[in-house]
Amino acid sequence: MKNSYYTVIIVLIHVASWFTIIYRNPQIVSFILLGVTLSLAVYYREKLKQLPILLKTLPGNETIFITLLQVTFLSIVVMSVNFNVQLLSMIGILVGELYRIFRYPEMVKQKDTATKYEMKIKEMNEHFLTIRSQRHDFLKHVSAIDYLIGQDAGDEVKQYFRNLLGDYEKVNRTIKGEEVHISSILLKYKIQAEQAGVKATYNLTVPVSTLPLSKIHQVQLVTNLLENAVEAAQSYFDKAGTAKLELNTDRHGGIFILEVKNSAYIDDKGLLDNLFTKFEVSSKGGHHQGLGTYIISNIVKSHNGRITYQFLNNELSIRVKLPLIKNATIDVGRDE
């Protein structure tokens, strides 16, 4: 059974069960329970809107149990002639729905964390491989320079040095002052952006790895911000033939400021109104589910931070502010 069918099946379960109860037992208790159900649906309407995307994101074997349990309760509602049994079964269906509302977002975040860990291991391996390859090739570069000097090729030596130092400097600037879990991410997305023709610049006044977050949340926040920025910039490059990406950090008045700017093409400006408030909205465009912006928003909110963003002249700028002191809050009026 495909996850795309779950939403329809879930709706049919609720409609069929309520139709059966109201049709067979048009009692005041039935209408009271229906009223309570509708009230809960209105109260949790934003969470209910997220369910179709959550169901598509999670594997079927992790979501089918609740669906089968609700189908079982529906069977009891249809086949039972006892009104109390029907009501208890209906309550069972509602409890299953409440489980979905509160548990599935957590399951998505756990799934994303596990995926990020796997990616992190791969990135770290690639990171160290880059550094080891530079060290491994050092003697070869020395031999090449020695040969050029022996041939009295002064201009060639200078150019060779420039190219060689440029490669070393690109890596060193990226990893300078950073812990390995962040430096590997920065290096990965810088290389990925430049290979796609996007000019990537890091202006790190303070190391990204000093973000006032746990290492897990640092990885999730930085990865999702840069992944969204690189993909949006790549899409823009495909249309315009040029694109840029910029990552900035700073500290000011007890606040850590992380800012990402990137070229972007957003034809539907209405998406910007709900970029970090709705699960299904993404800055990448197309059919992306917006899981990255959902995770970014949750991390920032859970640490009393703020997200501000603007789109101007085909450039999307996202600024994240996090208090350096635990449990501190950021004054809404402050916008350094």
Q: How is residue 172 written in tokens?
A: 């060193």
Q: Can you read off the two tokens belonging to residue 171?
A: 């890596």
pTM of the complete model = 0.55
User: Please, are residues 71 and 89 in contact by the beta-carbon 8 Å criterion?
Assistant: no
The predicted structure's pLDDT at residue 1: 46
Give the three-class secondary structure for 10: helix
User: Is it the case that residue 174 has pLDDT exceeding 90?
Assistant: no
Q: What's the average model confidence in pLDDT over 139-162?
A: 54
Confidence of residue 334 (pLDDT cuts 50, 70, 90): very low
Sheet holding 255-263, edge to edge: 199-204, 244-252, 255-263, 315-323, 306-312
pLDDT-based confidence at 58, cuts 50/70/90? confident
Residue boundaries of the structural domains of the chain: 3-109, 191-336
Q: Which numeric CATH code is attached to 191-336? A: 3.30.565.10
Tell me 192's DSSP state. Answer: H
Residue 265 near residue 314, CB atoms below 8 Å: yes
Residue 40, number of CB atoms within 10 A of its CB: 15
| Residue among 319, 299, 293 nearest 307 (CA) | 319
Nearest to 250 by CA among 148, 336, 145: 336
The helix-helix angle for 45-57 and 6-24 (nearest 10°) equals: 130
Stronger pLDDT, 331 or 37, i.e. the higher one: 37
Q: Give the model's pLDDT for residue 277.
A: 62
pLDDT digits (tens, 9 = 90+) for 64-84: 888 888 889 889 988 888 888
Q: How many residues does the chain have?
A: 336
Q: What percent of the chain has pLDDT over 90?
A: 24
